[in-house]
Structure 1
Amino acid sequence: MSTALVPIAEPVATLPPAQADDDTQMVRLWLARSASPNTRRNYEREARRFLAHVGKPLGQVRIGDLQDYVAGRDGSSATVALAASALKSLFTFAQEVGFLRFNIGAAVKVPPIKNTLAERIMSEADALLMIRQEPDMRNRVLLTVLYGGGLRISEVCGLRWRDLSARDEAGQATIFGKGGKTRAVLLSAATWKVLVALRGEAGPDAPVFLSRKGGALDPSAAHRVVKAAVTRAGLPAEVSAHWLRHAHASHSLDRGAPIHLVQATLGHASVATTGRYLHARPSESSARFLGV
């Protein structure tokens, strides 16, 4: 009887199960991570553009391909930075779930962005003109809340009457905002007054801003309301709902509101984000001390 030892097989390293079968499924999983519909749209558009440009699967893309694409991406500095950020996010996620072996996005730097915030802050008179010239009551209240509350358009469209409560002569709105964060925003007496006048017999679960079909007003429809108000007031065509949010931050700081209070109202994650408004519209400059 043979006493030869039977060799023991070396353990074979097992790879994590594939989380996606192809690039299309991988991109879909990646996009599902974002809670913001706007971010998903922008990232999906950039991913499609990139894959069409390189003409090869994600697994065959090399660092040079990615670097060349970002370097040659046309558009403003913000557009190029968005492209770099989106693709870095895609390749990082693809490696994290085991779809790709390496994260080539780690070698790409996001280019700096020119700060154009000052160009997107309207005057207080222009913001009020948009509101006062709006003939429709619902739309006028919508514009008032965008400016007076400093809310994002998605936050305004998502409001239900149960999210609003009276506070003395004014009121409070509970906002489910960006990144799934909830914050409470105190509204001025003037803003609260026009909001209450809009309610009528609506129940607590009814949307504050109704569409023509009776459901919640869609953000795209709200954008059209804002654009119509912009045209009516004779303002530049690029003015959008977010300009009213910028105006809220800038005008409240100009009037002496503490920066941490503006940060809390707008739902900024960092006071540094709110501080951009101070840099965009400085109240003093050494240039004013010169004779030229």
Structure 2
Amino acid sequence: MDPSKPISITRANTDKDLVLSWLYSKASTLTRHRYLKSYEQWLSFSNLTLKEAKVEDIQDYRTMLEMKGYKPATISQKLNSIKSLFTYAVKVGYIAMSPCVVVKAPVVHDQISTKLIALEDVKKLIEGARCHRDGLIIKFLFSLGLRVSELVKMRWDDFYFLSGGEVKVRIIGKGNKKRELLVPTYMYQELLKIREADNPWVFHVPLHHTPLRTNTVFYIIKKIAVKVGVNEDVSAHWLRHSHATESLRKGCDLSLLMQSLGHSSITTTQKYLCLRETEGSSSYIDIE
């Protein structure tokens, strides 16, 4: 056995087979789709096999993305997708070493503070909705702090009642992680008004038994924002960020917020604390 040759634990003989195996290792359909798009863009640029790619090729790819005007966050996401592929290829013994190990993604500064929407503007979006369904989409994204991918996957059989009459909904989040959220009773009653018989999906394509696409939800929100004069950059994730900051402002416990948002680490949730610019521990001290 050649000691310089990696020990293979995969049957993949071609890049296509390896990529399919890599994508299969990703739990989320959305993640698989995004990673596949990133790989296709890389392949279109480089026209190289995984075994042919060198450090300079990855560096050139990053330079190309920068020259095309992609934002640092987008470049980071695309590079991390390719890094994930090469790392997987090394782990299963398809290649000996990843050419990405010395190529760093651009530093992305957290700018959540610029991606918030005031409660008054949320109400404007709801009131400016074209139909009752669209208004409920805004309400659920903001009130429950849902990701748009979680919203469109909601089914009627995900809802259930507690002994005291409270309503809860089962949510499937990132990596197919499940959590359960409390739904205000009034919102559930409003939701029942848009229910179509025999349709399992809560938010679906009109007269079809298929859920709304995530890009359709983005379009709905932006169209309403333009109509009512709210920042047209607003997105579904802005509503999620705003849910977090508004909940903390009104006294929500950090661990409860972490659970509600579906974060795997409280460190992720803590980033919302730094947005309380007008608050500090000194506010609770009075020596006069």
Asked if these proteins are the same fold (TM beyond 0.5), I'd say: yes
Residue by residue over 1:241-289, the C-alpha shift from the partner in whole angstroms, topping out at 9 and shown as x without a partner, is 1211111111111111111111111111111111112223433379xxx
Match of 2:154 among 143, 159, 162: 159
Deviation, structure 1 residue 123: 0.8
> After superposition, where does 1:202-213 map in structure 2 within 5 Å?
202=197, 206-213=200-207
Q: Partner of 1:257: helix, strand, or coil?
A: coil
| Corresponding position: 1:69 with 2:23 | no
| Corresponding position: 1:121 with 2:116 | yes
Match of 2:195 among 199, 202, 211: 199
Structure 1 portions without partners, runs of 5+: 1-10, 287-292
| Corresponding position: 1:28 with 2:23 | no
Could you tell me whether the CA contact under 8 Å between 2:8 and 2:94 is conserved in 1? no
**Per the alignment, do residues 88 and 231 of structure 1 end up closer, same or farther by CA in structure 2, a change over 3 Å counting?**
same
RMSD: 2.7
AA in 1 matched with 2:207: K
Match of 1:186 in 2: 182
Which structure: larger Rg?
1
Could you tell me whether the CA contact under 8 Å between 2:171 and 2:181 is conserved in 1? yes
Deviation, structure 1 residue 186: 0.7
C-alpha distance in 2, partners of 1:137/1:65? 51
C-alpha distance in 2, partners of 1:206/1:46? 32
Match of 1:52 in 2: 44
Could you tell me whether the CA contact under 8 Å between 1:151 and 1:266 is conserved in 2? yes
Match of 1:146 in 2: 141
Match of 2:211 among 217, 221, 238: 217
**Per the alignment, do residues 210 and 39 of structure 1 end up closer, same or farther by CA in structure 2, a change over 3 Å counting?**
closer
Could you tell me whether the CA contact under 8 Å between 1:118 and 1:281 is conserved in 2? no
C-alpha distance in 2, partners of 1:135/1:212? 14
Match of 2:273 among 253, 278, 281: 278
Q: Partner of 1:198: helix, strand, or coil?
A: coil
Could you tell me whether the CA contact under 8 Å between 1:148 and 1:248 is conserved in 2? yes
Percent identity between the two aligned chains: 29
Q: Which moved more, 1:275-284 or 1:119-128?
A: 275-284
The number of aligned residues is 275
Residue by residue over 1:15-68, the C-alpha shift from the partner in whole angstroms, topping out at 9 and shown as x without a partner, is 647533332333233223223343333322322332333332221111232234
Could you tell me whether the CA contact under 8 Å between 2:203 and 2:212 is conserved in 1? no
Residue by residue over 1:64-104, the C-alpha shift from the partner in whole angstroms, topping out at 9 and shown as x without a partner, is 32234335531222122213311210101112222212223
AA in 1 matched with 2:169: A
Q: Partner of 2:51: helix, strand, or coil?
A: helix
| Corresponding position: 1:267 with 2:262 | yes
| Corresponding position: 1:42 with 2:34 | yes
Could you tell me whether the CA contact under 8 Å between 1:127 and 1:247 is conserved in 2? no
AA in 1 matched with 2:226: T
C-alpha distance in 1, partners of 2:167/2:130? 24
TM-score norm. by structure 2 comes to 0.84
Deviation, structure 1 residue 154: 1.8
Residue by residue over 1:216-238, the C-alpha shift from the partner in whole angstroms, topping out at 9 and shown as x without a partner, is 32223333322322222222332
C-alpha distance in 2, partners of 1:140/1:185? 20
| Corresponding position: 1:176 with 2:172 | yes
C-alpha distance in 1, partners of 2:51/2:11? 14
Q: Partner of 1:175: helix, strand, or coil?
A: strand
**Per the alignment, do residues 172 and 251 of structure 1 end up closer, same or farther by CA in structure 2, a change over 3 Å counting?**
same
C-alpha distance in 1, partners of 2:166/2:9? 56
> After superposition, where does 1:224-235 map in structure 2 within 5 Å?
224-235=219-230
